[in-house]
Amino acid sequence: MAFAMVRAGSSRSDAQGRAFILPLANADEAALVKAAEILPARTLLEVCAHFANAPDAPKLVRHVGPALAHAVCYPDFAEVKGQQHAKRALEVAAAGAHSCLLVGPPGAGKSMLAARLPGLLPLMSDAEALESAAVQSLAGGFLPQRWRQRPFRSPHHTTSGVALVGGGSVPRPGEVSLAHHGVLFLDELPEFDRRVLEVLREPLESGQITISRAAHQADFPARFQLIAAMNPCPCGWLGHASGKCHCHEAAVLRYQSRISGPLLDRIDIQLPVAALGPESMGARADGEPSSVIAARVAEARAVQVARQGWPNSHLGPRDIDRYCAPDDAGERLLHATARHLHWSARAYHRVLKVARTVADLAGSEHVAATHVAEAIGYRRALQRE
């Protein structure tokens, strides 16, 4: 996209300060930057006429931009029958921007739950929206009508490493960057190539991805919220009441081990999702609507931003010591669990961050043993000890 930047006064424009001359096709997108004055042009002749000294030469007119509606229609949590524990876990995930893995048999509602997570997230700030729009614009996929709407990316499990994290001879952003400030949903997680999954480790920690080539290097933002789903075994029915799973223990372990320990360690919430019984499937969906849950999430997220400047999932080691320290009973419970399950330091700290989010949702200034216990319960889907 070619553009020219001029001083409005020198171009005989009525506006003050600087203006950007852009192709008409890019005007709506550029006008989303509030401080920018956009002068769209159809042809180079119009640009020349704008700078002409003749008093009757036509001038380019400032572009106002499209009217934007911030109301977004997402699938509603009220449509999900049962699964109250999973709904609560996703509320915690949304409030603290935590990554989440849902493990359960086919038809348990894992994909249905994940698709409704964006409806719980707070509306993006202007700064976040500009970052997200800039990355999507690089890939040619940004629509001004999606302004301030958090992206939801759901690549297929056959996706290549380049498509997922970006690359090419001229580096372009991949799915992890297109999901910046939004949700990256990976369904059937073990079916992804293991080498592809391993590249997620860097952006999950740093919030960016670096693409290196012989001639140059490119850094793309990748601060996404990972939501993944998987079956518990190759056939999918391990633990189902029907008892129709006949997978050997070694086969189950091989299947679950397609997700490496280091990657699993970086997923904050790991939750089993049980299949619904006939009585639940036949009942009316009477859960809370997304708007009610989203109000609690927005309140908890506002507390986190006011306290430390960002969501709890982004806390560093010093921040964890400062903001997430539990009371004595909570600390004893956490230490005992960490010893019993042989947690790494990373897993220990991630449970603390989830406990901090649970406390924020409860309106508690301090992290108590009850908050720690709930956070521990959200890390039990794939115990390999």
Amino acid at 64: V
Mean pLDDT lowest among 19-28, 241-250, 304-313, 329-338: 19-28
Q: pLDDT value at position 94? A: 97
| Secondary structure letter of residue 107 according to DSSP | T
Q: Above 70 in pLDDT, residue 61?
A: yes
Percent of the chain whose predicted confidence (pLDDT) is above 90: 56
The pLDDT of 169-192, averaged and rounded, is 92
For residue 4, pLDDT over 60 is answered with: no
How far is 368 from 364, CA to CA, in rounded Å?
A: 8
How much is the pLDDT for 51?
Answer: 83
User: What pLDDT is attached to residue 300?
Assistant: 97
Q: What are the structural domains, with CATH classification, of the chain?
A: 4-51 (no CATH), 77-282 (3.40.50.300)
Q: How confident is the prediction for the chain on average, in pLDDT? A: 87
pLDDT band at 187 (very low <50, low <70, confident <90, very high): very high
The pLDDT assigned to 11 comes to: 44
Per residue in 71-114, pLDDT tens? 667 889 999 888 899 999 999 999 999 999 999 999 899 999 99
Q: Which two tokens stand for residue 51?
A: 């700078």
Rounded Cα–Cα distance for residues 165 and 211 (Å): 8
**pLDDT the model gives residue 283:** 66
DSSP code per residue over 352-366: HHHHHHHHHHTT-SS
Tokens standing for residue 43: 């042809």
* d(C-alpha 106, C-alpha 112), whole Å: 12
Residue found under tokens 């633990």: 239
Burial of 331 (0-12, 13-18, 19+ CB in 10 A): middle
CA dihedral 103, 104, 105, 108 (to 10 degrees): -130
Arithmetic mean of pLDDT, 5-19 = 53
pLDDT higher than 60, residue 14? no
Residue 6 is classified by DSSP as E
The pLDDT of 309-336, averaged and rounded, is 95
The radius of gyration of the chain's CA atoms, rounded to the nearest angstrom, is 24
pTM score: 0.86
Condensed to tens digits (0 to 9), the pLDDT of residues 107-165 reads: 899 999 999 999 999 988 888 988 998 898 888 777 777 788 899 999 999 998 888 98
Q: How far apart are CA 151 and CA 256, in angstroms?
A: 28
- Does 338 have pLDDT greater than 80? yes
Please count the residues of the chain.
Answer: 385
